[in-house]
A = this chain, B = another copy of it.
């Protein structure tokens, strides 16, 4: 069983091999389902010149936002980066590059990267306004952009429960980009709230089969809420 045992003992071990200049795919949407301790480990490690592919870039002081503090990030590939003053400052200073990508295209780029599909056509061609001279193709009378897949040197993922084989399930909408990032990392690291016995997860309920996962690490999570909305008392 040793060969399938993906559990590592520490966050340091979980991120072994991460080097300056690498590309990291990160799960999460807003602050929901983000690999918060793996991000903290990257900050601790001080790795620089990173390209990070993530729907958002956290907020000032939490999530991916903390990697901006020491200028570890060279480039963000994201759909929405509007919650972060430090981000704005570094972008305007030219210290940070951003490649804006529509959310659905970003999700599909990760999936395609994991699935060995080098390119696909998710968006109509006028979206080209955003992009540098991408190629277009006509289908059914409309021009589409040919978009390329994304793969990461690392994928950092937040799961709910995993077994030692790396089978993972996500909790509620903390699923979001996590299973997509998980497929597309050369090294995929998943941090989870609970490690369960092999066989405990129903084969039909597994969101990320262990074949995609290289390392599993157990953590505790702050799970900060970005917009706390509650029902008014009735």
CB within 8 Å of B: which residues of A? 108, 112, 115-122, 137, 139-140, 144, 146, 148, 169-172, 175, 202-205, 207
- Least Cβ–Cβ distance between A172 and chain B, in angstroms: 7
**Which residues of chain B are near A175, meaning CB under 8 Å?**
204
Set of chain B residues within 8 Å of A144, measured between Cβ atoms: 118-119
Q: Is the CB of B119 within 8 A of A137?
A: yes
Tell me which residues across on chain B come within 8 A of A117, comparing CB atoms: 108, 120-122
How far does the alpha carbon of A60 sit from the alpha carbon of B130 in the complex, in Å?
A: 54
Tell me the bound Cα distance from A175 to B144 in angstroms. Answer: 32
Chain B residues with CB below 8 A from A205, complex form: 202, 204-205
Query: Which chain B residues lie closer than 8 Å to A140 at the CB level?
Result: 118
Residues of B with C-beta under 8 A to A122: 116-117
A207 to B205, CA, bound (A): 9
CA distance A171 to B172 in the complex (A): 22
Taken together as a complex, chains A and B put the C-alpha atoms of A207 and B148 apart, in Å, by: 27
Determine the distance from Cα of A112 to Cα of B147 in the docked complex, in whole angstroms: 14
Q: Give the CA-CA distance A205 to B112 in the complex, in Å.
A: 23
